[in-house]
């Protein structure tokens, strides 16, 4: 056992990402290397690599075009004994990186010098947006896999989702030439006098959108004519599914994830052919970013801000739950916002919670109790809000809850409700802090009039903070 431990390395500690800026003298390190967060897709569930001492697997990336080169070093290698032999380090990397990643470090250095001397490189795709933040200039570029430059970029960086997104997977095989124009790649760069630095990216897949039938079906015997010649399938209504989202670790905690997500959301919101924007299996950290950005967007819509519970609600616990909100208005706004039902309802529940009377509005334990004594009306509207949220949770978790008898089912529903309520408190507090922090400050010589144009920016507490994704 001692020998096995002596020759075993933690794969997350061994795999390191190094970013290098081009210069005429060769690559210049942009900072210390940073470790992989997950390596089980490469080296197994235990994330251990056997057979080496002092193992370092450096995956070097040129910071502008993300050309990779792999450099492996170790102090000693285990001599195979029978069936016990050192783990295969290179094959998992070769399955997820293009051949150029294994061309050797000297070639990487010489090619980097040449690229720096030419000084003509620019990102693949088309420039979509430019943003200024103090002395920093950021650009967002987008393109589909039909673009050879975009395909090359994806082949180079798609190892990163495996290392930093739990459950991440490649979207192309670098060994094959197949492309799919339904994949759109969004890339975030910082631009300065020395050129571009790649900061992060997101991928979106376009599905055909099966909307609701509005017109009556055609009469029997109706003949349909297929389009003649080439037909652009991109002109059909679609659902855009955000698949991967990653800000590189050195650039986290700068609000960049929020900038990228909001830019993408606005694009699909403005695109008449996109009917919905959804997310593929978001993790908890990305959920925060998404909740904050979606809530900030919805609060720009007057019809969302004005939503409240119906007047004159009467609760009869022996009968069915009455309609608590104007369902037609909710459905219409859900369709307009292009936010999928569950996500829209979460934002609506948070918004309605924020409008509860102060005396009954849920608070964190550290905030203490309200100084105001709740009235009967206050308690009633709080119970209405709880029932409103529970009704969605009951439908969403019907398969799980249906496995329990009525008593345990109600207990489990109540526990789920309490967890959701706590999460909403946390998110709303964060949202309000960000909105207050980002509110423009008046100078002492300004008058006392509030700036009507002051924007509420929902900067997420820092999924950029952990950078990750989906």
Which pLDDT does position 467 carry in this prediction?
Answer: 43
E strand map for 116-194: 126-133, 136-144, 183-192
Q: How confident is the model at residue 80 (pLDDT cuts 50, 70, 90)?
A: confident
Q: Does residue 458 have a pLDDT over 50?
A: no
The residue with tokens 């987008």 is 142
pLDDT digits (tens, 9 = 90+) for 191-224: 998 899 999 999 999 988 877 655 566 777 777 6
Task: List residues bridging with 132 in a β-sheet.
Answer: 137
Binding site as annotated, residues for acetyl-CoA: 245-247, 252-258, 283
Which pLDDT does position 315 carry in this prediction?
Answer: 76
Q: Does residue 450 have a pLDDT over 60?
A: no
Catalytic residue among 280, 367, 415, 464: 280
Q: How confident is the model at residue 119 (pLDDT cuts 50, 70, 90)?
A: confident
Most confident of 258-267, 322-331, 438-447: 258-267
Least confident of 108-112, 142-146, 425-429, 435-439: 435-439
Q: Would residue 358 show up in a list of annotated catalytic residues for this protein?
A: no
Q: How confident is the model at residue 179 (pLDDT cuts 50, 70, 90)?
A: low
The residue with tokens 């905690």 is 253
Q: Does residue 377 have a pLDDT over 80?
A: yes
Rounded to whole angstroms, what are the CA distances from 2 to 13, 48, 51, 93?
20, 15, 13, 29
The residue with tokens 């690559």 is 27
3-state secondary structure 362-425: CCCHHHCCCCCCCCHHHHHHHHHHHHHHHHHHHHHCHHHHCCCCHHHHHHHHHHHHHHHHHHHH
Task: List residues bridging with 15 in a β-sheet.
Answer: 57
Task: Please provide the average confidence, as pLDDT, over all residues in the chain.
Answer: 86
pLDDT digits (tens, 9 = 90+) for 233-289: 567 789 999 999 999 999 998 999 999 999 999 999 999 999 999 998 888 779 999
Report the length, in residues, of the chain: 470
Which pLDDT does position 309 carry in this prediction?
Answer: 93
Token pair of 175 as six digits: 């060994």
For each of the domains in the chain, give its residue range(s) and CATH number, in order of start.
4-118 (3.90.360.10), 122-212+236-281 (3.40.630.30), 299-437 (no CATH)
- Report the pLDDT averaged over residues 283-309: 93
């Amino acid at each position: 056992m001692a020998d096995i431990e002596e020759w075993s390395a933690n794969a997350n500690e061994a795999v390191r990402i190094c970013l290098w800026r081009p210069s005429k003298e060769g690559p210049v390190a942009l900072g210390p290397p940073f470790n992989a967060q997950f390596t089980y897709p490469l080296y197994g569930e235990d994330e251990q690599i056997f057979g080496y001492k002092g193992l370092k697997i450096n995956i070097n990336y040129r910071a502008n075009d993300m050309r990779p080169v792999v450099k492996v070093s170790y102090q000693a290698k285990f001599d195979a004994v029978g069936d016990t032999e050192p783990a295969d380090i290179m094959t998992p990397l070769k399955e997820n990186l293009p051949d150029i990643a294994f061309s050797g470090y000297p070639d990487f250095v010489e090619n980097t010098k040449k690229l720096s001397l030419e000084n003509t490189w620019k990102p693949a795709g088309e420039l979509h947006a430019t943003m200024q933040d103090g002395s920093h200039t950021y650009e967002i570029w987008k393109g589909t896999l039909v673009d050879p430059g975009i395909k090359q970029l994806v082949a180079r960086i798609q190892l990163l989702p495996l290392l930093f997104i739990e459950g991440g997977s490649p979207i192309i095989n670098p060994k094959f030439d197949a492309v799919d124009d339904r994949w759109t790649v969004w890339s975030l760069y910082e631009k300065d006098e020395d050129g571009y630095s790649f900061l992060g990216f997101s991928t979106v897949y376009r599905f055909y959108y099966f909307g609701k039938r509005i017109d009556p079906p055609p009469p029997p015997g109706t003949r349909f004519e297929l389009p003649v010649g080439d037909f652009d399938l991109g002109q059909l209504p679609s659902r855009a599914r955000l698949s991967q989202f990653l800000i590189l670790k050195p650039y986290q905690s700068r609000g960049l994830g929020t900038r990228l997500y909001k830019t993408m959301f606005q694009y699909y919101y403005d695109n008449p052919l996109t009917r919905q924007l959804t997310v593929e299996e978001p993790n908890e950290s990305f959920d925060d970013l998404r909740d904050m950005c979606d809530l900030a967007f919805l609060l720009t819509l007057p019809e969302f801000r004005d939503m409240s519970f119906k007047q004159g609600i009467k609760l009869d616990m022996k009968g069915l739950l009455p309609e608590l909100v104007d369902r037609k208005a909710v459905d219409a706004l859900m369709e307009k916002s292009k936010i999928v039902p569950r996500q829209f309802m979460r934002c609506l529940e948070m918004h309605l919670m924020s409008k509860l009377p102060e005396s009954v509005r849920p608070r964190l334990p550290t905030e203490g109790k309200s100084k105001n004594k709740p009235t009967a009306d206050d308690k009633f509207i709080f119970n209405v809000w709880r029932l409103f949220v529970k009704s969605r949770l009951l439908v969403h978790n019907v398969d799980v809850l249906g496995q329990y008898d009525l008593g345990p089912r109600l207990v489990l529903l109540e526990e789920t409700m309490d967890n959701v309520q706590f999460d909403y408190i946390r998110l709303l507090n964060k949202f309000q802090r960000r909105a207050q922090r980002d509110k423009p400050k008046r100078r002492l010589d300004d008058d006392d009039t509030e700036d009507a144009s002051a924007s509420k920016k929902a900067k997420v507490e820092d999924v950029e903070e952990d950078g990750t994704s989906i």
